[in-house]
Chains A and B, each alone.
Chain A
Amino acid sequence: MTPTTHVKMSGISKSFGGVEALSDVDFEVEAGEIVGLLGDNGAGKTTLIKILSGALRPDAGEITVRDKPVHFRGTRDAIAAGIETIHQGATLVDQLTVSRNLFLGREPTRRILGFLPRLDWPTMREESRTLLSQMGLHRTVDPDGVIASLSGGERQSVAISRAMYFESDLIILDEPTNNLGLDETRRVLSFIREAKAAGRSIVFITHNVFHVFQVVDRIVVLRHGRNVGNVPAAETSVEEVERMITGVEAVAQR
């Protein structure tokens, strides 16, 4: 496999007021790679990801997507560049039905009477049903049921499959296994593997080191807004990564 760089962020800095959230951070994702982004609360993971997903603009630094420099002015730009972010608990609208959520922002429409735009319900239902059946959920989920009636794992599955359906080639998962049961976690992790098998690059943000080791290719660790580790998962251990996160011992220089 010849690794090509999918996304490259270099020298990223960002301050809020006088507080430096990120300072000169580098972050890279190869095409088809699953990268675990780890760090304690306040380490700068979320800020870095918000910059990558267009929600924040960096004070300094460059971002390239497939070697082309990009300047995201908002989430729309990032989505257009194929970058989809799934925030914990914040990507689905509870009150809306599954199919309305799946197609939110990219609703298929039809013109009735030749001019009147209208949601294309048959397509939305059919595609939703196909997607839901591919998720390998335990029960049949009704595309017309509201998100509020789904379990946490089902919601994550809906969010991830939405990202895959719309051919985002980089999927950012922000704490996807938080508050999930054992079984649901397993399903989400297997879903991540499937997404990789389908050729997607994935950034998996978490502070659960054990979940990371089950799926990722490479681990990047931030502490106090700086890079403190960047290692292939196969060449490190849970203990070492935990030390990088907490910084209890001097970090091994690589």
Chain B
Amino acid sequence: MDTPALTDTDTDSHAGASDHPVHNSPAPGRSRSPVLNRLFARREALPFALLVAAILWFWSDNHTFLSLLNISGMLAYAPELGIMALGMTLLLTAGQFDLSVGSVFSFIPILVFIIANNLHVALTVAVLVGLAAAAVIGLINGILVTKFGITSFLVTLATQLILAGAAVYVTAGFPEATLAATHSAIEPLLVGTVNIGRLELYAGLFWFIGLALILDYVLRQTSFGNWILATGGNREAARSRGIRVDRVTIGLFILTAVLGGLAGTISDIRVGSAYPTAGQGYELQVIAMAVIGGTSLFGGSGTIVGTLIGVILLQAISNGVVLVGFPGLAYPMFVGAIILVAMLLQSGLRQINIGLERRRR
């Protein structure tokens, strides 16, 4: 979780340093105030501060905010958006975004339960078919963006509309029952619960944490992560180094879509029915989570840890504003405000950083 350096596309200084302590000493010629700089430089610091502030505000106004029951509720819902946000984080880091995830979130579980309910196959099979379908959607998005050179905004806007329309069309607008999930082998895996005292944790949370750990590792510690960062940072440079930037991009579109399908399936089984409009608007919330967490909207820099914080922050806000007495439907108002505040503070910190850098030269 350690991200040194200025704009910090991170290296793992913990691990590097522990292997070879000699590398721990700062390079000579580095003469900035390290504590201040590192604090400002860490992208996750700002969203984390906002999260702490939000929690303190909600809690001081209404102590039930931090009650186990309320936390259980938040932890049931947040991971479902969070799983999508993880895929989106890597995709944004590679310089693309996906507006179709919300529709994938709606459409895939409908497909899964149409198959399970009408063809009487095991739910496990239906889920696998659904995720494969999601992968195909991601593949199509990716191919249209990379091979046909259409911007991801237009491509995924189109697929978003197509899937949203298709979800309503095939269901005639009615929710698809998810009863087939009951007692199926895969049910505990998707929506099982673990009780720790009065704290009830859903399987979705473990998916979210597990995926976050894996993807954080992939982004920061593997060659593929380096390719993702380079693809988003300077596509031509990455290509000239022999990196298959199109494949990286397509792969991440597939990942994002599959995670959207998985999240939708988990969510709909937990809720009890697959609504054709379940994921409406989620794509923008998910992008907001990643960006508030510190991932760049323009590629080349991304943080899973930041997204984790962004997910919790937006969930805390959507829950907290209700507890402190605002109507729940006013929630987007606060999301908008928090995005602006986060971006303003971030650009303010960047100015300070540039100032420090100049003084150092």
Contact = CB atoms under 8 A, between A and B. Distances in A.
Interface of A: 53, 55, 74-76, 79, 85, 87, 90-97, 99-100, 103-107, 109, 117-119, 121-122, 125-126, 129, 139-146, 148-149
B238 interface: yes
A196 B127 CA distance: 60
B61 interface: no
A139 B234 contact: no
Given A90-B236, A105-B243, A95 B301 contact: yes
Contacts of B234: 90, 92-94
Interface in B15-30: 15-16, 19-20, 23, 26-30
Given A105-B242, A105-B243, A119-B221, A95 B229 contact: yes
Given A87-B236, A139-B29, A118 B222 contact: yes
Contacts of B343: none
B4 interface: yes
A103 B330 CA distance: 49
Contact of A122 (B23, B223, B357): B23
Contacts, number: 129
Contacts of A96: 9, 226, 229-230, 233, 300
Contacts of A87: 236-237, 240
Contacts of A139: 29
B120 interface: no
Contacts of A125: 16, 20, 23
Interface string B6-44: 111101110110011001001111100000000000000
Interface string B209-253: 000000000000111011101100110111111111000000000
Given A96-B233, A121-B12, A125-B16, A146 B300 contact: no
Given A104-B241, A119-B221, A122-B16, A97 B9 contact: yes
A93 B225 CA distance: 14
A91 B13 contact: no
B49 interface: no
16 contacts: A75-B242, A79-B242, A90-B237, A93-B229, A100-B226, A103-B226, A104-B230, A104-B237, A105-B242, A105-B243, A119-B11, A122-B19, A140-B28, A146-B7, A146-B8, A148-B7
A79 to B, nearest CB: 5
Dominant secondary structure of chain A at its interface with chain B: loop
Nearest to A118: B221
Contacts of A107: 223, 226
Interface of B: 4-9, 11-13, 15-16, 19-20, 23, 26-30, 221-223, 225-227, 229-230, 233-234, 236-244, 296, 300-301, 357
Given A91-B241, A144-B5, A104 B226 contact: yes
A121 B30 contact: no
B15 A121 contact: yes
A93 B223 contact: no
B233 A144 contact: no
A144 B4 contact: yes
Contact of A75 (B7, B16, B240): B240
A103 B225 CA distance: 13
| 7 interchain residue pairs of minimum CB distance | A105-B241, A121-B16, A140-B29, A95-B300, A93-B233, A76-B242, A107-B223
Given A96-B229, A97-B5, A121-B16, A104 B221 contact: no
B11 A146 contact: no
Contacts of B222: 109, 117-119
Contacts of B225: 119
A140 B360 CA distance: 13
A95 B9 CA distance: 6
Given A118-B221, A146-B5, A146-B6, A93 B230 contact: yes
Given A95-B9, A119-B222, A121-B15, A142 B240 contact: no
B229 to A, nearest CB: 6
A140 B11 contact: no
Nearest to B8: A146
